[in-house]
Amino acid sequence: MSQTSKPCPDQDKQKKINKKTISQWIEERLPVFSMIQREYIRFPMPRNLNIWWTFGAVLTVVLVLMLATGIFLAMSYTPSAEGAFASIEMIERRVPSGWLLRSLHMAGSNLFLAFLYLHIFRGLYYGSYKNPRELVWFSGLFLMLMVMMTAFAGYILPWGQMSYWAANVVIQAISSIPWIGEGLAHWLMGGSSPNDLTLHRYFVLHFVMAFLIIGVVFIHVVCLHFVKSNNPKGIEPKTKEETLPFYPYYVAKDAVVIVVSLLLLILLAFLFPDLLTNSENYTPANPLETPANIAPEWYFLPFYGILQLIPFKFLGLVLSAGSLLILFAVPWLDRSSIKSATYRPLYRLSLFILLIAFVILGIVGKYHTHGGLIWLGRLALLYYYLHFLMILPFSHRFELKRTLPVSLLDDDKGAKS
Looking at residues 340 to 369 of the shown chain, list those that interact with other proteins (rule: CB under 8 A): 342, 348, 352, 355-356, 358-359, 362-363, 366
Known catalytic residue at 225 = yes
CA distance between the termini of the chain: 85
Binding residue per annotation — 387? no
Binding residue per annotation — 225? yes
Binding residue per annotation — 186? no
Binding residue per annotation — 119? yes
Kindly state whether residue 41 participates in binding other proteins, applying the rule CB under 8 A.
no
Cα–Cα distance measured from residue 297 to residue 100, given in angstroms and rounded to the nearest whole number = 20
Question: 155: Cβ–Cβ under 8 A, 6 or more apart, which residues?
Answer: 162, 163, 166, 296, 297
Cα–Cα distance measured from residue 359 to residue 301, given in angstroms and rounded to the nearest whole number = 9
Cis peptide before 132 (omega within 30 of 0): yes
Query: Is-contact 235 405, C-beta < 8 A?
Result: yes
Query: Is-contact 357 323, C-beta < 8 A?
Result: no
Query: Is-contact 291 281, C-beta < 8 A?
Result: no
Query: Comparing C-alpha atoms, which of 219, 66, 204, 81 is closest to residue 142?
Result: 219
- Catalytic entry in 128, 175, 297, 320: 297
Binding residue per annotation — 105? yes
Cα–Cα distance measured from residue 11 to residue 6, given in angstroms and rounded to the nearest whole number = 10
Known catalytic residue at 12 = no
The CA-CA-CA angle for residues 63, 69, 71, to 5°, reads 100
Kindly state whether residue 396 participates in binding other proteins, applying the rule CB under 8 A.
no
Kindly state whether residue 301 participates in binding other proteins, applying the rule CB under 8 A.
yes
Known catalytic residue at 196 = no
Q: How far is the CB of 362 from other proteins (least distance, A)?
A: 5
Residue with Cβ nearer other proteins (138 or 282):
282
- Residue list, annotated binding site: 105, 119, 206, 220, 225
Interaction site with other proteins (CB under 8 A):
47, 50, 52, 86, 89-90, 92-94, 99-100, 103, 110, 114, 117-118, 121, 125, 232, 244, 248-249, 252-253, 255-256, 259-260, 262-263, 266-267, 269-276, 279-280, 282-283, 298, 301-302, 342, 348, 352, 355-356, 358-359, 362-363, 366, 402, 412-413, 415-416
- What are the binding residues for heme b? 105, 119, 206, 220
Q: Annotated active-site positions, please?
A: 225, 229, 253-254, 297
